Amino acid sequence: MPSYLREASRNPFVLKISLLAALGGLLFGYDTGVISGALLYIKKDLHAGDLAQSWIVAGLLVGAVFGALAGGRLADLISRRWTLLISGVVYVAAALAAASAQSSGQLVAARMVLGLAVGAASAVVPLYIAEHTPPKIRGGTVSYNQLMVTIGILVAYLVDFALRNTASNWRWMLGLGALPGVFLVIGMLFVPYSPRWLMQRGRRDEAREVLRRTRIGDDDYEGELAEIESVLSEERRGGIRALLRPSLRPALVIGIGLAVIQQIVGVNTVVYFSPTILTYTGLHANDAIAQALSVGITNVVFTVIAVLLLDRVGRRALLIVGTAGLTVALATLAAFFAFHWQDSAPWVALVALVLFMASFAIGLGPVFWLMISEIFPLSVRGSAMAVCSVFNWVANFFVSYYFLQLVDAIGKAWTFSLYALMGIVGIVFFITKVPETKNRTLEEIEHDLGAPAASRASTRHRTA
């Protein structure tokens, strides 16, 4: 049995918490995947041109920017748990509104509200899981969020495929998106508050009980409780302004760098526009949706592989290898369109898309969300993750919004060449800037990235 599965199986309470919280990833996953197929029918039904299509896709991302900012703040004010529950409620209402939209404008507005929920969940889910999980299995459990994102995408692709010949198909596709929100709301009723949030609120006995239930064997939960208490008592209160402190700059550079690079390699053009890209090879809409299923299946399979490897191989190695793989895939797509292989070798495009998704799923996909939940001090963790999430959503917006315009302006080959260049930039950044965080407590990571003196002292005392 892989070491992650062996360790995780000994801690079923943490697995339950992590899986229920990771349902928040379904919000993003389903809505990201479903629009790729639905868009092929929306543009006909609502007479949406390229600009309207871009906004239908990007409306979610605009809302997500503000949702991520609000989510980080709400996570500190009302708890991680209640922030996720409220996100689920908002998502349900907005999904139903999107399904009943009568114009492109109404659909864009509904998707902006959906984005508020998705953005808040994206900032809070990894934070909540990381704060519950022992270091030995933190890589795998935090990555449940990304796994749920990929499952949501695959489910959406399956729904698109199943409903492709149904009357009002795109309305059913979008309306079924309410279900992930319902699952999240119900799930949040059965999980505890984060021990670190409880300590921030002075609820020490409750925090001890949560830690006792989530730590097993030789895990020193009393020592961890004391360490959290020491860090909280000595550090200044966190917030957006606190992120400007010189001691936090290395972590902030890493977090924002990961956030932007994850998007500028073009991942969500592949997710949002897989069927559209495949129609460039000459396929009809229904056939393109069917072939796009292989991209969704690949995403899930290789995310599972990443969950099993993150706590064994480490974050940094998977990040570098995965980004190298997706860069090769992007260069292949560029060559496909540059040399007009659509007639002689149409299968190359699908192979390249599958390679891209496999490489992303073992590297940038899970590692970004995992590392931003690890590298920031407790006092600013919620705000820092919100800021990184905002940069991620802003980059997502620009890449997704301008994809169709970029293809029109410079052509398909140069578009994918540009994404490949961004992959090379990412590899250089990871090699020179990103540390390994495997098997280390959140406080130890904080120390190495320039934590305040009090936190460093706390960590030295604990490891002495």
What are the tens digits of pLDDT across the range 88-126?
999 999 999 999 999 999 999 999 999 999 999 988 998
Say yes or no to pLDDT of 127 above 90: no
Res. 341 pLDDT band, cuts 50 70 90? confident
What are the residues whose beta carbons fall under 8 Å from the beta carbon of 112, sequence distance 6 or more?
59, 60, 62, 63
Question: Residue 78's pLDDT is what?
Answer: 93
Write down the pTM of the prediction: 0.76
Q: pLDDT tens for residues 246-299?
A: 778 888 899 999 999 999 998 877 766 666 666 666 666 566 666 767 878 888
User: Which CATH class name applies to 3-463?
Assistant: mainly alpha
* 366 Cβ contact partners less than 8 Å away, ≥ 6 residues apart: 142, 143, 146, 147, 303, 306, 307, 310
Q: Six-digit token pair at 174?
A: 């979008």
Q: What is the pLDDT of residue 5?
A: 63
Cα–Cα distance between 146 and 126 in angstroms, integer?
9
Helix axes 144-163, 12-21, angle to 10 degrees: 50
User: Each residue of 175-199: pLDDT tens digit?
Assistant: 998 998 999 999 999 999 999 899 9
Share of the chain above pLDDT 70, in %: 85
Q: CA 63 to CA 240: how far, in whole Å?
A: 20
pLDDT in tens, 18-63: 989 999 988 888 987 888 778 888 988 898 887 888 888 888 888 9
Domain ranges, ordered by start, for the chain: 3-463
Q: What is the mean pLDDT of residues 153-181?
A: 88
DSSP classification of residue 65: H
**pLDDT score for 281:** 64
Residue 404: pLDDT over 80: no
The pLDDT of residue 1 is above 60: no
Residue 172: burial class (beta carbons within 10 Å; 0-12, 13-18, 19+): middle
Could you report the per-residue pLDDT of 200-228, keeping only the tens digit for each?
Answer: 888 999 999 998 888 876 567 788 888 78
The CA distance from 265 to 95, in Å, is 28
